[in-house]
Amino acid sequence: MRICAEALSVAAALALVAAAAAGAARAQSDNLEQAAQYQACMDLAETAPDEALEAAQTWADLGGSDPARHCAAVALMRLGHHEAAGEELETLAASLEASYAYLQIPILIQAAQAWLAAGNVERAYAVQTTALAREPNNIELLVDRAMTAASVGDYTDAVDDLDRALSHAPNRADILVLRASAYRFLDDRAAALADVEAALTLDPGNPEGLLERGNLRRLAGNDAGARDDWLQVTRLAPETPAAAAAQANLAKLDVKVE
């Protein structure tokens, strides 16, 4: 079960983290040639993972070290070998050379995503917990772990992590919407509505916020208000998961009305 219909896909999350890691390598490495090769390999992992895996393995044999191993693991993930990628990413995070220690948290984030893609929620949660032990105030990690908890129905734990995230980023509308969803599943509609209204005050056109407020209005018997919110989602964010969820809700509402 998803905490919010608009959670980032595993693929999108991996792409963002991979790009951030490669960019960091380019900025921090003393070896510009190796940094450029790292960036090129990570880019290739996004577009042609089979080629990237072969290139990374060859690079590793030639002394590519941690960047080569990282690229190979990301390529494995892209190829759908999620368990192998998770294992390799965890191992890599625990054995990084000092010059690449700054990649530990991004790599652990990727490892958790790999385990989620493999369907191993318990392992993903454990990896996220390990990462948070190193960076307890990392907002994205707190959000990730909250969503992992919510995926197995642990909404109380999800709210705890989202509370911590919001204590460091009180004006993040996306996190407020996630917490609203968690509160809704806990049947605390007043808290859910307060969060979603706060999110929409910060970002009036937030599709996920409008979708969630529509859900809450529907539960409260306000079908007209729910319809208005869901229609806004379809207008503001067509061809998105949020719009698809809103369309499905509208269809159910129309069936009930008929």
Tell me the CA distances in angstroms from 162 to 27, 89, 177, 201, one per residue in order.
31, 26, 10, 19
Q: Give mean pLDDT, residues 135-151.
A: 95
Give the residue with greater pLDDT, 47 vs 11. 47
Give the residue with greater pLDDT, 111 vs 7. 111
The pLDDT mean for the chain works out to 89
Supply the pLDDT for residue 32.
81
- Provide the percentage of residues in the chain whose pLDDT is more than 90: 81
Helix-helix angle 207-219:241-257, to 10 degrees? 20
Grade residue 99 by pLDDT with cuts at 50, 70 and 90. Answer: confident
Q: Give mean pLDDT, residues 103-110.
A: 93
pLDDT reading at 125 higher than 70: yes
Residues with Cβ < 8 Å from 39, sequence gap 6 or more?
22, 23, 25, 26
User: Rounded to an integer, what distance in angstroms lies between the CA atom of residue 170 and that of residue 110?
Assistant: 26
Alpha-carbon Rg for the chain, nearest whole angstrom, is 20
135: left (phi over 0), alpha (psi -120 to 50) or beta: beta
Cβ distance 233 to 210 under 8 Å? Answer: yes
Give the residue with greater pLDDT, 164 vs 37. 164
User: Rounded to an integer, what distance in angstroms lies between the CA atom of residue 199 and that of residue 208?
Assistant: 10
